[in-house]
A = this chain, B = another copy of it.
Amino acid sequence: MVQKNVRIRDVARQAGVSTATVSRALTTPDLLAEATRENVFAAIRATGYRVNKAARTLRTRQAGAVLVLVPNLGNPFFSRILAGISARLGDRDTSVLIADTMNRVATGKSLVDYFLDSQIDGMICLDGGLPENDLQQFRDNGLADRIVFACEWVQNTDLPSVRSDNIQGARLAVRHLYELGHRKIAHVTGPLDNVLTHARREGMLIERGRLELPARDEWIIRGDFSLESGREAAEEIIRMENRPTAVFCASDQVAFGLMSTLTARGLRVPEDISVIGFDDIELSDFYVPSLTTIRQDRHALGTRAASLLLECIDPQSTADGHRKTPVIVDVELIVRHSTAMA
């Protein structure tokens, strides 16, 4: 911080009132007579006063900040969500801290520490793979009700969350391929222990069953949402004797990795094999070929998660019942050029 001279006392002196009055002008202006209020605001402007957040936090035990925990900032998927969160939180004077799960491990700082150091009031977690250890620490410290999950969530808990309709998304994807005449449909999943992986795989299986499509174990390929895992999946597909004619990828990045390698190996997308992704990041429209995918409304995921968190940490809110039901955000099929008639 920097040496700053003007304290609340200076404003009080300037306005000819007590510090209490100045403080009230800022936090509960209704309590003041109009003339006094105007007077105080004039003094604030005149002195260029700014409240010292550290002092306020110390006294009120409210940090006025929220932490967003992102699994991987390098994945452009998250940016819009962050924008959504900021948009919702920005007008209140809540600041948004962003941390990356991957980096965090390195720092050795535990997550509860953010709370215990009174640096944040709440957390939006975009990583459902939060170690049980961390979660337990939250519960131990009575902090479990200050966390909201977005996109991902933790299974078998009733922590509040906002999610895309992943099952529906997967079903849309499969149905789209089906309608193009594809019957042999493969799926590159996310990482084994991820909730999105389960949901999307389940949606895929449901729809495949409903449409009575053939199933082969090798057509379910394990990935991890990354470009690299798309590459590996492509290698596997190329090796298959009974190749699928279409692949539903659990993320756009996987789809890119997949298409990149398929093409490098002489398979054409979509002529030889159709590919569909999940997420609809900006780049999907600019890939070659442009990627058919399931769009998640990332901005909505962000704003809703922020709203939900505000509800949770707002002390006068009592509606904790409905929080346990996840908020579901609709997805949408975006048809581009990576899918074609079988």
Smallest Cβ distance from A24 to chain B, in angstroms?
20
Does A237 belong to the interface (CB within 8 Å)? no
- Report whether B107 and A50 are in contact in the complex, using a CB–CB cutoff of 8 Å: no
User: Inside 8 A of A62's CB, which chain B residues have their CB?
Assistant: 1
- Report whether B90 and A82 are in contact in the complex, using a CB–CB cutoff of 8 Å: no
CA distance A330 to B61 in the complex (A): 47
Does A45 belong to the interface (CB within 8 Å)? no
- Report whether A97 and B100 are in contact in the complex, using a CB–CB cutoff of 8 Å: no
- Report whether B63 and A58 are in contact in the complex, using a CB–CB cutoff of 8 Å: no
User: Inside 8 A of A120's CB, which chain B residues have their CB?
Assistant: 1
CA distance A87 to B73 in the complex (A): 14
CA distance A75 to B83 in the complex (A): 13
Most chain B Cβ neighbours within 10 Å, of A55, A119, A282, A286: A286
Chain A residues 301-321 with CB under 8 Å of chain B are: none
Smallest Cβ distance from A201 to chain B, in angstroms?
23
As for how many copies of this chain the complex holds, the number is 2
Chain A residues 203-248 with CB under 8 Å of chain B are: 227, 230-231
- Of all chain B residues, which has the CB nearest A146? B2
- Report whether A282 and B227 are in contact in the complex, using a CB–CB cutoff of 8 Å: yes
Segment with Cβ contacts to B, from A34-42, A110-118, A154-162, A182-190 = A110-118
- Report whether B90 and A83 are in contact in the complex, using a CB–CB cutoff of 8 Å: no
Smallest Cβ distance from A47 to chain B, in angstroms?
13
User: Inside 8 A of A114's CB, which chain B residues have their CB?
Assistant: 95
Interface size of A by Cβ–Cβ distance < 8 Å? 71
- Report whether B100 and A86 are in contact in the complex, using a CB–CB cutoff of 8 Å: yes
User: Inside 8 A of A286's CB, which chain B residues have their CB?
Assistant: 227, 230-231, 256-257, 260
CA distance A155 to B50 in the complex (A): 31
- Of all chain B residues, which has the CB nearest A4? B116
Does A322 belong to the interface (CB within 8 Å)? no
Smallest Cβ distance from A208 to chain B, in angstroms?
27
CA distance A191 to B50 in the complex (A): 36
- Of all chain B residues, which has the CB nearest A90? B107
- Of all chain B residues, which has the CB nearest A50? B116
CA distance A146 to B3 in the complex (A): 13
User: Inside 8 A of A102's CB, which chain B residues have their CB?
Assistant: 83
Smallest Cβ distance from A284 to chain B, in angstroms?
10
Most chain B Cβ neighbours within 10 Å, of A52, A141, A263: A52
- Of all chain B residues, which has the CB nearest A82? B73
User: Inside 8 A of A78's CB, which chain B residues have their CB?
Assistant: 73
User: Inside 8 A of A98's CB, which chain B residues have their CB?
Assistant: 97-98
Task: Point out the residue from B4, B282, B288 that lies within 8 Å of A259, measured CB to CB.
Answer: B288
- Report whether A90 and B103 are in contact in the complex, using a CB–CB cutoff of 8 Å: yes
- Report whether B61 and A58 are in contact in the complex, using a CB–CB cutoff of 8 Å: no
Does A14 belong to the interface (CB within 8 Å)? no
- Report whether A263 and B282 are in contact in the complex, using a CB–CB cutoff of 8 Å: no
What are 8 A-B contacts with C-beta separation under 8 Å?
A: A1-B121, A50-B113, A54-B63, A75-B79, A93-B109, A227-B282, A227-B283, A264-B290
